[in-house]
Structures are given as structure tokens and as C-alpha cells.
Structure 1
Amino acid sequence: MTELHRLDATDQAALLRSGDVSAVELVQHHLDRIATYGERLGAFITVTADRALMQAGAADERRTAGGDIPPMLGVPTAIKDLNSTAGVPTTFGSVAMRDFVPQVNAYVVDMMEAAGLISLGKTNTPEFGLSSYTDNDLVGPARTPWDLSRNAGGSSGGAATSIAAGLIPFAQGTDGGGSIRIPASACGIFGFKPSRGRVSMGPTGSDVSGLAGNGPLSRSVRDAATMLDLIAHPMPGDLRPLPEPRVHFAQWITYEPKRLRIARWSATHLEGIDPQPDAMEAWERASRLLESLGHEIIDITNPFAAELEPQFNVIWSTGIATVPIPPEAEHQLRANTRYWRERGHRTSGEELMAAMQFVEATSRQAMIDLDSYDAFLTPTLAMPPQPVEWFNASGDPVEDHWRELQFTPYTALYNMSGQPAASLPLHWNDDGLPIGVMLAARSGDDGPLFSLCAQVEAAAPWAERRPPAFS
């Protein structure tokens, strides 16, 4: 039998259904890998081994008893440490929140548990998910398993490196400016940011800005589609709920896409920031692959305005300024967090409203301009995974922010527009580092985007390409 950690979640679920493996065996196998590799990778902030094994035993008893069996009963996963988990510490990657234990689950966690998934713990994230790299004062950086001297990307870096190294088969992440797609690119896996409103942020998460949402990270497109089917259910009271999809996303991946008109651009919307040769090579190769599949590739000018970046920062900083930190704990925050909170505290209500209106109007115009195309292709990142010390080597939060913009000038645009977007692991550079490419679609077209991603995966499979030290 193939080693359990080399199977995706879909195949693991099939083994559980057939009785070839028990949930206890499957969970223990992955816990053993976490014990062996987790600290080296900076993958987890909290590991809930006893809780997971107890749930696995209950899953085996439930399966033996028969009756209504959830579709993923006994399959291991993990929850990002930005999402509340009742009875389990949720630190938000911050020393100031080290002892916080929520009383309720995030709604997405409820949906995952209802499907039978078993969380092995809370994955590493930067403080309050603020950065495009994962590092904090609790457990330190998350590292890509392709080169442990380099960061896994952020803010879902712990989830991405866990999947790439075979500690879990798939996981949930959040994405407010690229936080699913960035680490997916840096770790050589698949990451999917759904359309705005597709997955609830309830009951305690905020959807006021519309920037952030939950989504899947996985090795296979089918696993991501399966997870989105499990969690894409509106919660009463959601501000921007999308209706239940008429066709399951797992069904969409079986459909052959029609001939699509795919617009592509590589120039960033930010002055002085250009993609490095590795990113360009990945983008060009992906373009040729899509053409070979029969799609029409059209070069266009980047449709997003440079003025979006400072307005995004107004919204971003105001959001972090509203996080309720006890005054006596402010000194425990990292310098970058204090910088963004101070910026947010200086923002007036009029400035925040103007920024939100500008982002909405400007991204809407971009969507109007792009409406004649079916999909959009750019690099995911402008450069390969970077050394763990590169982003904040200066200790200056302003320089840190500039370096993050150089690293990821593409992803946040789709958070502002609300479009679905995915990072696909189609390229590795000469140093063996993964370089993702990003495909996006019109808002609400998550299903057709899955169909296209599955077609690309079938034409250029990546499942067997694994980091040698963790295979």
C-alpha cells in the first residue's frame, strides 16, 4: 500500500470507507509525522494529539455502527490559528493572545467537523495574519519544505508547509490579501481563494471590508473542490452570502472546459516593482500549456489602478486597529503589528469610508473592463520563496512593507475585487524552489475556475513532485 501521507484526502477517505485503514491508524500516522517534522518546519502552534485520537476512536465506532456516515469521517486536517476553535487555544499568532481559549467555533470549523474531519491542531500564522510571510514570537517562522532556510509564505504558511511535507492531506486557510495563494506558491501546492461571500466568516469573524475569506489548501484540485463543497454554506446573518451552488465543485472538476478566452498580464500595478525571471518563466510556460489545451491567450494591460494599494492599506490598517488588545498587552505585539495599528488609529471614519468606496468603484470598473474574458493569468508571486530573515531584516516596518509588496504585488487585487483565484504549482526553478502561477475567474465563477484548474492539473500533474527530505 502507498504510504498514507502520500495519499490525498480523497483517497484517504476511500481507504476509511473500505475498512483498509482505521481513523485511529490514519490520525496516528500523521501525528507521528508532525512529531518528527513539525517543529523543524514551524508548521503548528498547537498540536491537539489526545483530542484528535479520541475523535478518531469515536469515528471508528461510528463507522462500525453504520447509519448516516459523514463523507470525510476520520480524515485528518488542521485549522489555521486565526480561526476560533472552542476549547482549543487560538493565539492569532500573538504572544498577547497566548492564553485565549474561545467558547465557540468559527462557522467554517463547524462545517468541517460536521463532515467528519479531525483537526490535529492549529497551524502557524503571523501575528493576526498581517504579513505575506509566516513568523511570530510564539514558535517562529514557518519554512517551505523545499528549502528550510526560506519562509513558507503567509499568512497560511503553517497549513501550506504541513500539506507539502505530508503532515496533513489538506487544510483550511484564510485569505485577506493572498494568504492562501502566497504560501501555496511558496510550498508547491494548490491554493484556492473562493469568491467573496462563498464561505462564511461567522460567527465572530468580520466581513465588513469584504477582503478576507476562508478557503482550501491541498495537493490536488479534487481535494480543494471537496473541501469547498463542505464549507460553502451560508450562515444566517452573513453580510454577503452567495447561494448554495447548484452544482457541487467536486462535480465541476469532471467537466471539460470549453475553449476559453484567457487574458494575461505580468506587469504589476505598482511603480518600481517587476516580476523576477523565475516568475516570468513560470507564467510563460503556463501560457503555452493553456494554449496547448485549446484556449485563446490574449495579452492585455494590467487593468488594476496603482491607487488601489494605498486605499487597501487604509482598510487593512483600520481592521488591525480594531482588534481588542488589552492595553497592558500592547507592548507584547511585534513592531510590524504596532506599526499597522498606529496607522489604523490615525484613520478617520471619513477616510475609511472613502477608501472602501474607492476600492469598490475601481475594482468594479476593472471587472467591467475584463467582462469579455473567461479567466485571467498572472504570476502568483513576483519572486521565489525568500530567506526567513529577508522581510524584516532591517527591523523597520516601512521597509518590511516595501519588501512584501515586491514579493506579492498580484494577489490582493482579487481580494479587493472579490473574484475567485487559485495558485497552481506548475514550475520549479533551477534551485528546486516552487514558483506558482495564478488563474482567476469572474466573481461567482468558482465552479468554472475549478474545471479549468483540473484540466491543467491533468495535463501537467504535480502530485508526485514532493520535497525530497519529507517524501
Structure 2
Amino acid sequence: MSELHDLTAVEQGAAVRRGEVSPRELAAHHLARSDDVGAFVTRTPELALARAEALLPLPDGSGPLYGVPTAIKDLNLTAGVRTTFGSAAFADYVPEVSDAVTLAIEAAGMVSLGKTNTPEFGSPCYTEPDVAPPAVTPWDRHRMAGGSSGGAAAAVAAGLVPVAQGSDGGGSIRIPASCCGLVGLKPTRGRVSGFPMYGEVTGLATAGTLARTVRDAAAMLGVLAGRGVGDPAWAPPPAEPFLASCERPPERLRIARFLEPVIADVEVDPECVAAYEAASSLLVALGHDVEDIAVPMPREAVPTFETCWAVLTALSVVPPSRSRCCVR
């Protein structure tokens, strides 16, 4: 029989609904697992167990991830729980309010086990803050888990939680997903509310999901998605739940690919090229069209992006009594 942490998030939720395991048992099982990958800045076992205990009896119409453990990135506001933004300058900061991501996770009946590791203000693409050990991939603990959602990715890949929220402006979900062998989804602008943090002036950053399966990623997006008053953009609502869309037969896709590095003038490692070609061949064998294209971003876009990133980092350094804008 599989260990509880080997089950997908959707499978764990189904086990809760069938009464085979309680939310408290799930939380206790995952809390007992050792964090040797630098996944967490702060763990909240007492709070998690108390919340899990309060989830029974199950309400009618509970969602697919009701009772399932997760974690919240240390850039997101969590009322009463330390939130450092990956910075020693905020090592003791405890918000008085929660943001839309935290509120959505709680409303869905999920149980947060703590705050996942992130670099200072979410700026670098690696996760090595002063307030926590470096986040590393569990597949090779000598290699980084990526950033800025490196802690979330390490937690999911190591089975510390089955699914987690991350955020992404310039690769902060996609890079850790690649480093840790996960499904990383950065949704479209306006899909997930940024309430109450509207200081993100570029429109690049949004919350998203890190999971081991596409179904888990879809279920977690269903938890996070929603509009908030004051959001600068609203994505059109989906025609059906994201998880339900996973059951549709896949349609033929037209997929673009390019091999030239965008940021650095370097040769792509032969092993990466081989994986790129193998993935392309598999997509063709599945009936999809794969086409080579030129790099879809001009070189001058890189320094422009770096300027925007510097502005976002500067906006992050404000007195802790003000609303935070860290969502990268």
C-alpha cells in the first residue's frame, strides 16, 4: 500500500471524503516528514493540527482538495503567522491580515503547514535567503531548487505537501518546477486576485501552482482562482472547473519551439538538447504539430525586464505596516 504522501493531492482529498483518513491524520503525517531540502522558513504544526481538527464533519459540497495539506509562500500575507519576504530585515514581521491567496486556501478547507522558502523579496531565480537554509531539489541535494518559489517546489517534490502555491513574474514557478521535476503553472493575468497587494506595477507577476500531476495543478488553480475588488485585471471565468477540463480528450495542438538561449550567449548543454528533441518527438508521436520559430523576444527586452524587476524590488522595501507587493 502506498504511503499517504505518495498519493496525489486529488487522491488525498478523495480519501478524506471517503472517510479513509481524516484531515488531522493527513496533516500529522506530512508534518512528521523531515525537511532536509530547505523547503520551509516557518512551520506551523500546532496551528495546522488545530485547523485540520476543525474541518470535521465534512460540509456538503466540499471541494476536491478539502482537508489536503499545503503550504503558503513566504511572500504572501498570513495573519498571525510570521512572514519574512525572504529578508532578514523582516525576520520578525507578523502580518495582521491575510491576502487573497491565503484566504482562498483557507476557504477551500486546505491545511497550511507553514511558509515556504523564497529568496529576498522574491527577486533572484535561486532560493538562498538569510532567514533559512538554501532550498535544494530532493533529487540531488547538491543542486538548487530554483526560485523564487524554490521552497514550494522542494516541499512538493520531497512529499512534504502534495501541492503548493507559488508565484511567478519572470519564471518563479517555472524555474523551480524544472529544477524539481514538477508541473508548474503560471496562469494568465487576472486569474488569481492580488488583494490587497496592488503595488505590482508591471503586470508580470501572479500566483499559480506547483504539483506532481496536471490534475493536482488544475485542482489547486481552482482553489486559487477568483476576483477581488480592486484587482487591475480580471480573466474571463472558465466554462467548467479546471479539474473537469483534465477529463476532456486532448485536442491536436500546434506547439512552437526554439533552442537559442534568450538571456545569455552560451551553448546549450548536449543533455538539454537531447531532452528537448526527445520531448519534441514524443509530442509529434502523440499527434501534435511541432514547429521551429525564432526567439519570440528581442534581446533588448532583457535589460528592460531587469529595470522593471529592480523597481519591483524597491517597492517591496517599505515599512511593514503598509501592504506588501511581493508576489513574484
TM-score computed with the length of structure 1 as normaliser? 0.66
How far has the Cα of 1:260 moved from its partner?
A: 2.0
**1:245-284 residue pairs with structure 2 within 5 A?**
245-270=238-263, 272-284=265-277
Give the direction of change, closer, same or farther, for the CA distance of 1:205–1:126 in structure 2 (3 Å limit): farther
**1:181-192 residue pairs with structure 2 within 5 A?**
181-192=174-185
TM-score computed with the length of structure 2 as normaliser? 0.94
For these two proteins, the number of residue pairs brought into alignment is 321
Q: Which runs of 5 or more residues in structure 2 are unaligned? A: 320-327
Could you report, residue by residue, the CA deviation over 1:49-103 in whole angstroms, capped at 9, with x for unpaired residues? 000000111112x32xx54535422110000000010110110011100111111
d(CA) in 2 for partners of 1:8, 1:220: 7
How far has the Cα of 1:268 moved from its partner?
A: 2.2
The AA in structure 2 aligned to 1:261 is R
Could you report, residue by residue, the CA deviation over 1:310-336 in whole angstroms, capped at 9, with x for unpaired residues? 10011110111122346xxxxxxxxxx
**1:12-411 residue pairs with structure 2 within 5 A?**
12-33=12-33, 36=34, 38=35, 40-60=36-56, 62-63=57-58, 66-270=59-263, 272-325=265-318
Partner of 1:392: none
- For the residue of structure 1 that corresponds to 2:227, the secondary structure is coil
Q: Which runs of 5 or more residues in structure 1 are unaligned? A: 327-414, 416-471
How far has the Cα of 1:122 moved from its partner?
A: 0.1
Give the direction of change, closer, same or farther, for the CA distance of 1:59–1:47 in structure 2 (3 Å limit): same
Structure number with greater Rg is 1
The AA in structure 2 aligned to 1:52 is A
d(CA) in 2 for partners of 1:119, 1:41: 18
* 4+ aligned runs moved over 4 Å, structure 1: none
d(CA) in 2 for partners of 1:140, 1:21: 32
Contact kept in structure 2, 1:70 and 1:114, CA below 8 Å: no
Contact kept in structure 2, 1:125 and 1:157, CA below 8 Å: yes
Q: Percent of aligned positions with the same letter in both sequences?
A: 51
Partner of 1:339: none
d(CA) in 2 for partners of 1:125, 1:168: 16
Contact kept in structure 1, 2:65 and 2:219, CA below 8 Å: no
The AA in structure 1 aligned to 2:239 is R
- For the residue of structure 1 that corresponds to 2:316, the secondary structure is coil
Give the direction of change, closer, same or farther, for the CA distance of 1:298–1:69 in structure 2 (3 Å limit): closer
Flag the structure with higher helix content.
1
The AA in structure 1 aligned to 2:163 is F
Contact kept in structure 2, 1:96 and 1:325, CA below 8 Å: no
The AA in structure 2 aligned to 1:194 is P
Give the direction of change, closer, same or farther, for the CA distance of 1:67–1:303 in structure 2 (3 Å limit): closer
d(CA) in 1 for partners of 2:169, 2:267: 22
Give the direction of change, closer, same or farther, for the CA distance of 1:151–1:296 in structure 2 (3 Å limit): same
Give the direction of change, closer, same or farther, for the CA distance of 1:144–1:5 in structure 2 (3 Å limit): same
How far has the Cα of 1:271 moved from its partner?
A: 5.5
How far has the Cα of 1:190 moved from its partner?
A: 1.0
- For the residue of structure 2 that corresponds to 1:52, the secondary structure is helix
d(CA) in 2 for partners of 1:67, 1:325: 43
Contact kept in structure 1, 2:10 and 2:64, CA below 8 Å: no
- For the residue of structure 1 that corresponds to 2:210, the secondary structure is strand
RMSD: 1.6
- For the residue of structure 1 that corresponds to 2:80, the secondary structure is coil
The AA in structure 1 aligned to 2:291 is I
The AA in structure 2 aligned to 1:54 is A
Partner of 1:9: 9
d(CA) in 2 for partners of 1:49, 1:269: 42
